Structures are given as structure tokens and as C-alpha cells.
Amino acid sequence: MEYLGIALMFVKAFAVGGLICMIAQIVINLTDLTAGKILVLFMLAGVVLTALGLYQPLVEFAGAGATVPISGFGYLLANGAMKGAQEGLFGALTGSLAAASAGVSAAVVFSFLMALIFQSHTKYN
């Protein structure tokens, strides 16, 4: 019976993550926005939805399906800032940095390791 709960968790994460990616693909197909602008749009959407209290229920429902996409990074930043704001203005400014520091640090370290392991080159080489 426990396997059914785990399978349901995977299905929910896949469905929500896939829905977020589908929305991004629709935006790519129907607009002339660059990839960077779309990333910022989705991150800001995560911040706004978190501020409105709408993203937390999505995270509780889908888990990694809501936290892994870039909108989840916006959720993480906003959530950290809101928790830090309880300690004052300085906490509000540093809360988001503290919340995201582990993920950003891991991305930098693993990117560096991959650059050492694999021979990197520009797209046109």
C-alpha cells in the first residue's frame, strides 16, 4: 500500500511539473520573448503567486513538481524573504539569499566539476 502512495506522489509531481513546462512551451511558441525573459517571467510568477498565498498549496500538493521548475526558485526567494521579514528589514533583504544559498552553491560547485571533467567549447567549435 505504501508503494501506491509513492506512485501517486510521482504522478502528481510529474503532472504539475509537466503543466508548468507546457505553459512555458506555449509562451515560447506564441511569443517572440527570449529565453532569458521567459525565465524571469516564470521566476516572478513564482514570487507573485507565493506573495498571494497560491504557490504554497501547489508545493504541498506536487512537491518537487512545483519546486524544481524556475517558478519554484521564485517561490524559494519569496518564502525566504517573508520569513526573514519577521526579523526586520535586514532579515527581509537577506532571507531570500539565505534560503537560496545552498542550491546556488551546489549549482556552482557541480558546474565547476563538470567543466573539469568534460572538455567545454563554444557552440560553434
pLDDT tens, residue by residue, 16-29? 999 999 999 999 99
Band of residue 125 on the pLDDT scale cut at 50, 70, 90 = low
Q: Please tell me the distance from the alpha carbon of residue 46 to that of residue 96, in angstroms, as a whole number.
A: 13
pTM of structure: 0.78
Mean pLDDT of 28-53: 94
- pLDDT number for residue 74: 92
